[in-house]
Structure 1
């Protein structure tokens, strides 16, 4: 790298030019391979000062590769005179402001030259595309990092980057805390597929289907067209290459294909990770829907997965990761800075003071076992996704994912990753054979695609659309399976999982309901709209800028936001801020399920936090509903979390225009709905006559049931982590953050209520205002 104007002076040592950096005060300097990294104290980071001293000059051993161990050298007042071979190729990089930090935990014995790669979200405006990152270790050593920028914010600053490096040493049991510091952008360089092929790395998939042996090899895939370059640099290189499974006579299996994602650290001997994926996901290819086969996967000549009689469902896929030299695989856990992740707004503002209970984490470990993990399994999920009732997977993020963020516990992480791996099992994967990407429908050829089983003769799909699978998917109960795993790992497999789900969500209806290629989600149940919008927002937010589907998901989200903006903000169909089925082809509702409506309010607020500005006015309109149920005159907030509310006199009447009218319509009778049942006072007293949140109201409940009721206990299983007050919480938190009128009052009432959940036993709803 040629020194720039950052370097105020140059001296010639042994015939080679070496830069001299003026620092605010003496600092330690470290070598990373043939590169010198110097720490500059910036005034913004607490440094600065007029009495700058000259940094030491350090000779660099040109024989050390960028991936090898670095040396921390002490400051010297007089720099030594290096021999000529000690300065060849020397580059100096200035390290500046701290971006954030992360930790690497050693899960095994002492290790040296430990490769690591992870995904890092960056807040708006904090890292420019012409800036790089280095790692400051706990002992002050600076380590060169490779960054691969994937997604950017609207202001062109970096949003998501994949970070790679090699840690010199890691003691047994050590947790190394590392700061990410900004540097000048590093030269890319990088290896080629030809370089990889020359290493001798091999990987093969063999599947015996109906007595015929089919195989695919990494060697074949490396020469196949259209490889995807995922990582490129001097530390790590990764490619995704695909190949059909072929029989001995050269014939291809009509459904099955294989891909190999190879992450190679060229500076380290046999340090490469191979992620082998097998798919039965061709959209337009007819044939057997469910396949059963014997399979064996090897990496580096070593079998890493084998199973007799694996059942592979249609529109599904599985993958298996393994390292080239299994004995030398890095045994590490990269732990993110969760506070920074939350502050970036990539995830909601979960209450970091909540610490998951040990009993729950132990349960996670029991749920994540040999029977629930591996190809064609779904992790600790319910096989029938549409199962009613609250569950750990339903929420903005699943309870396993939130528990990991709050604890960084390996058991929660294992469960979270099992969900991400298992997401490939569901029969929702439609890959367009013509593009090689998850199916997009914003073109004439695909605009009539539907996966609804009652529309078998509609659209261009020649194959059956119903899945002969024990795993039944359902948009209305759809968990977020792959977003956080991709965010944290940067693994391409999880990115595609997120994209497959986002692409599938609009397709289960007549194409006219979804706008014939617009991807509208209006036809789902209210909760289905909320979760599908969340998934689409995730895909639009984090899909890399250069990915062929980036504009597609962004446009599909914009189509949806425009629909809700027109139907509700402009149309203003009711005064309550409640979803009422407005807009063409939208899902109609009779009564309002407030908890589902609250999901939708949170979803719009979260999309606004992700930076989709068109969601903000929709959220401001929608937030009137949860806030009004807590604070409006004539409506008692104890019933803000009711299961269902009558919202009009009959189907042809308009929605009530005040919350008082809603309250009287639902709670004026001798019997009222409560806690999933019907309650009547034994003496005929009317519930509506009892002052809100009073002892008299509590006495009314106590007289009508055997449960002991406090005066400020909300309806809907108030002390449950999955009860209706818990469901309400994210919507109120979003409203309070946005400054919605009366939202702070609503939040104050909510937080001073009786009978709160113990979120350490299930934290997926524990979102608080920012």
Structure 2
């Protein structure tokens, strides 16, 4: 339409107004129909017009459009710079040619440059060449390069660094430090450098650690680390509790901290030595053997104390920090100071693989401690329950709940205070509501010993099952399951066909919920020995790590489930030296020396397994009394031989109804009892658990010691009609003259160990101490030993007049003037046994058995019992020869010893006669064997027994000489490090 309008105007066909043309109107503007655009291109590029025309150099372009757009297009190596003349700026240009016929434009192109960003990571720099540019870049810089130019980069590592590669365009060159490329686009190029690593080895000698912010973990032994070369590493030495730092080796100076420049591989040694606290100091060492930090660690243990040291109650002190400590005092000395206590504490923190030294000091606290109430123990927070489930052969299921018994009030407090509460959950009444079994006799009694920790809402439970009731004695067999927790009980233990025979008990202990890791607790044997509740062990003995590792490896392989033997010899009468024979078993002594958690596991589990011996009887009837005054009920307690108990009972599984036992004292099983391969006796009776209770406070171990003492007291024919195998004129005196000498020694040891650990005012302690005093006075009468402080002259007279003639028939009842304990039957002069010259000796005995009696008497004396007079008598078996010139002391540890002479059977009267009564060949062999001092049987060598026994004889004439002779020859042998149970020293 617009073109038509223009055409009409040009041809005059259209006029203005209503009439024809107006002669006065201006002439019309000429219409431009074609235009010329003159384009000049400077540089490398072209100009494109919107009508499609292109100019690369100088062009006159005809265009038919009055409005045209020009676009600069740079060549690959160029970039548009600017317009001149009719166009301006740096972008496209639009020309309006409406009134123009010609336009001139100049498009200028310049060479193109590429921006490059070079980044050099720490540890090096980048040298570069880009076109005519060259230089070096550290950290980050930007450069330009002509487009298409070759760029060469060279990565240069600084000292202690290595070039490891490129990022971005140079990555294809892998780890070559040279990178070459053609610059065509902007990019960021990164050179990667890694700091060189050098080896730092740290050797730690002694208990301590070396740490540093530059090291991943502290070092406690031999550690190798990789650290940045050229750096300075600050090393800090930290000694364990009870230790001190003794210095670094070069290149450090001795002090800490030390700075090491790691310009090359380095080795640094750090030494730690004992802080030299007194060997008998009152402290403990707590070691965390795990790789995890322990916080608020619940620790409960027991400890004896030296008289007068802890006036009110013990408290733990960590460095200068007094820890809140609960102390349940079980024994006090006559002056009121603490003798034995159970200690409960939450240790704030024990770092992984670290050691703490905690001192025990006095704290003045009220003795009236209140434990958790019944309701508090049953609160939801503890989720407390422990259940024993038994399935008998007829699929009858019996299940007993600790929570149910607790709810019924069938418990007593053992430990109570703000930190921990231990309750003994059991029903020992005649109703015995918790008892269960395969029939109406309900022969199995469940017991639950539970410790509540309110700050942690945790409970530890010892499960116990026993067939011990004198009125329901029978064998049982069942499938056992132990469960823990109230809301959702979890299975903690299972065993099928449990052989629960009469007079035996089993136990297992668990935490409810997550188990608490074990730690090593070294009670410090030097201090324990000073209390006299443990013997005076030789602290120079050090149990090797190899021994502990071997023992624990053997333990892991051993069968140690319920009624398995572990390390026990289940048939006690079996001959031979064994780990279990001694004042304490070897495993117990290794634990006492080290406190190592592995040795503790063995010692404690062995004590638990001792329940398999049929020596466990509780009085089941309410009509019997326990004490001599007949004031304390015997119900639920160990058997008593007091007049109100069972004074004539022979406590042996096959002799409970012995004819010479009074009918009222007999125990009749409710069904025939099967033979038990766990055979106890007195002549080989170990200490089952007294040290375990002394240092743990675990009531189960105290009971084991009581059961053991009751058995060794009563395993003889109390009536003794026609023989000497009795225990006093009525059977209730507890005399120990029956059986072999070794049996007498082990029975005395078991009794005084059990008595010494029993709580004050406990009927069991009073009972055992009374029996001990009576037994000692009966011995004094038998051996005609003077004692101005004697309390029972009638018992002394009984032994002298009634027992003496039977024990010493060849001397009209007179004891040996040399202190010899006993003799065998008189033999004819032509008899031969390889030991004695029977033309001079009529008989003899095993002196080492009597040495065990001396050992037990020495132990009783140091525990405060009046055993000194008897020790003085029989101790002459060892001290007398030392005062006799010409008697070789090697013969003291011979297997046999002449005691009565030919032809009259009377006692020898001097030690040279005894020596001369040996066969010459046997005497020479014994002297040669023992004089070398090359070896010792650390488990039951007769020279080892003399070594231990002599430690108790240095107060007698000749005693120091015997002790010196045996300690110089055998006291330092490595065998005593591996098993130091006989390694005793004089006090």
- TM-score (norm: length of structure 2): 0.60
Pick one of 603, 607, 610 that aligns with 2:856.
603
- Alpha-carbon distance, 1:536 to partner: 0.1
Question: Over aligned residue pairs, what C-alpha RMSD do you find?
Answer: 2.8
Pick one of 85, 105, 108 that aligns with 2:287.
105
State the alpha-carbon separation in 2 of the partners of residues 519 and 590 from structure 1.
29
Pick one of 727, 730, 737 that aligns with 2:945.
727
Q: Is residue 2:437 matched to residue 1:195?
A: no
State the alpha-carbon separation in 2 of the partners of residues 248 and 535 from structure 1.
32
Pick one of 692, 698, 705 that aligns with 1:491.
698
CA contact (8 A) 2:588 2:691 kept: yes
Q: Is residue 2:422 matched to residue 1:238?
A: yes
Aligned equivalent of 2:932: 713
Pick one of 313, 316, 323 that aligns with 1:143.
323
Equivalent runs, 1:70-219 vs 2, <5 Å: 100-108=282-290, 109-128=292-311, 131-138=312-319, 140-186=320-366, 188-199=369-380, 200-210=383-393, 211-219=395-403
Q: 1:297 to 1:631 in 2, by over 3 A?
A: same
- Classify the secondary structure of the residue corresponding to 2:702: helix
Q: Is residue 2:413 matched to residue 1:229?
A: yes
Aligned equivalent of 2:746: 531
- Alpha-carbon distance, 1:634 to partner: 4.1
- Alpha-carbon distance, 1:261 to partner: 0.7
Q: Is residue 2:909 matched to residue 1:657?
A: yes
Aligned equivalent of 2:922: 672
CA contact (8 A) 1:116 1:167 kept: yes
CA contact (8 A) 1:245 1:253 kept: no
Pick one of 609, 613, 638 that aligns with 1:438.
638
State the alpha-carbon separation in 1 of the partners of residues 704 and 769 from structure 2.
17
State the alpha-carbon separation in 1 of the partners of residues 971 and 528 from structure 2.
30
Q: 1:349 to 1:246 in 2, by over 3 A?
A: closer
- Classify the secondary structure of the residue corresponding to 2:371: coil
State the alpha-carbon separation in 1 of the partners of residues 754 and 668 from structure 2.
28
- Classify the secondary structure of the residue corresponding to 2:323: strand
Equivalent runs, 1:737-756 vs 2, <5 Å: 739-753=955-969
Aligned equivalent of 2:43: none
- Classify the secondary structure of the residue corresponding to 2:616: coil
Q: 1:158 to 1:718 in 2, by over 3 A?
A: same
- Alpha-carbon distance, 1:178 to partner: 0.7
Aligned equivalent of 2:820: 578
CA contact (8 A) 2:617 2:707 kept: yes
Equivalent runs, 1:34-53 vs 2, <5 Å: none
Aligned equivalent of 1:308: 496
CA contact (8 A) 1:212 1:247 kept: no
Q: 1:371 to 1:209 in 2, by over 3 A?
A: farther
Aligned equivalent of 2:600: 413
Aligned equivalent of 2:450: 262
CA contact (8 A) 1:188 1:233 kept: yes
- Classify the secondary structure of the residue corresponding to 2:709: helix
- Alpha-carbon distance, 1:152 to partner: 2.7
CA contact (8 A) 1:456 1:465 kept: no
- Classify the secondary structure of the residue corresponding to 2:897: coil
Aligned equivalent of 1:28: none
Kindly provide the CA deviation profile for residues 723-767 of structure 1, in whole angstroms up to 9, marking residues without a partner as x: 21111112211101xx21121122222233389742123221111
State the alpha-carbon separation in 2 of the partners of residues 310 and 217 from structure 1.
19
Q: 1:223 to 1:253 in 2, by over 3 A?
A: farther
Q: Is residue 2:713 matched to residue 1:500?
A: no
Kindly provide the CA deviation profile for residues 444-485 of structure 1, in whole angstroms up to 9, marking residues without a partner as x: 451121134355443421128976212111211111120111
Q: Is residue 2:866 matched to residue 1:624?
A: no
Pick one of 633, 639, 643 that aligns with 2:885.
633
- Alpha-carbon distance, 1:498 to partner: 0.3
Aligned equivalent of 1:520: 735
Structure 1: unaligned runs, 5 residues or longer: 1-97, 583-588, 677-692, 699-708
CA contact (8 A) 1:634 1:659 kept: no
Of Structure 1 and Structure 2, the greater helix share is in 1
Q: 1:526 to 1:250 in 2, by over 3 A?
A: closer
State the alpha-carbon separation in 1 of the partners of residues 818 and 301 from structure 2.
45
Mean alpha-carbon deviation: is it higher for 553-562 or for 102-111? 102-111
CA contact (8 A) 2:501 2:676 kept: yes
Aligned equivalent of 1:768: 985
State the alpha-carbon separation in 2 of the partners of residues 303 and 311 from structure 1.
20
CA contact (8 A) 1:106 1:173 kept: yes
Q: Is residue 2:607 matched to residue 1:400?
A: no
Q: 1:168 to 1:651 in 2, by over 3 A?
A: farther
- Alpha-carbon distance, 1:156 to partner: 4.0
Q: 1:559 to 1:248 in 2, by over 3 A?
A: closer
- Classify the secondary structure of the residue corresponding to 1:368: helix
- Alpha-carbon distance, 1:253 to partner: 5.4
State the alpha-carbon separation in 2 of the partners of residues 503 and 174 from structure 1.
43
Q: Which structure's CA Rg is the greater one?
A: 2
Q: Is residue 2:560 matched to residue 1:373?
A: yes
- Alpha-carbon distance, 1:581 to partner: 7.2
Q: 1:675 to 1:603 in 2, by over 3 A?
A: farther
Greater RCO (Cα-Cα under 8 Å, separation 6 or more): 1
CA contact (8 A) 1:629 1:639 kept: no
- Alpha-carbon distance, 1:675 to partner: 6.2
Aligned equivalent of 1:294: 479
- Classify the secondary structure of the residue corresponding to 1:546: coil
Q: 1:657 to 1:537 in 2, by over 3 A?
A: same
Aligned equivalent of 2:192: none
State the alpha-carbon separation in 2 of the partners of residues 345 and 239 from structure 1.
29
Pick one of 462, 470, 479 that aligns with 1:275.
462
- Alpha-carbon distance, 1:330 to partner: 4.7
- Classify the secondary structure of the residue corresponding to 1:326: coil
- Classify the secondary structure of the residue corresponding to 2:952: helix
Q: Is residue 2:676 matched to residue 1:450?
A: no
Q: Is residue 2:791 matched to residue 1:591?
A: no
State the alpha-carbon separation in 1 of the partners of residues 536 and 779 from structure 2.
25
Pick one of 672, 675, 689 that aligns with 1:482.
689
- Alpha-carbon distance, 1:225 to partner: 5.1
Q: 1:473 to 1:567 in 2, by over 3 A?
A: same
Aligned equivalent of 2:113: none
Structure 2: unaligned runs, 5 residues or longer: 1-279, 622-634, 720-725, 787-799, 801-813, 825-841
CA contact (8 A) 2:947 2:971 kept: no
Aligned equivalent of 1:78: none
State the alpha-carbon separation in 2 of the partners of residues 247 and 764 from structure 1.
40
Q: 1:724 to 1:142 in 2, by over 3 A?
A: same
Q: 1:133 to 1:451 in 2, by over 3 A?
A: closer
State the alpha-carbon separation in 2 of the partners of residues 731 and 247 from structure 1.
46
Q: 1:371 to 1:756 in 2, by over 3 A?
A: closer
Q: 1:629 to 1:456 in 2, by over 3 A?
A: same
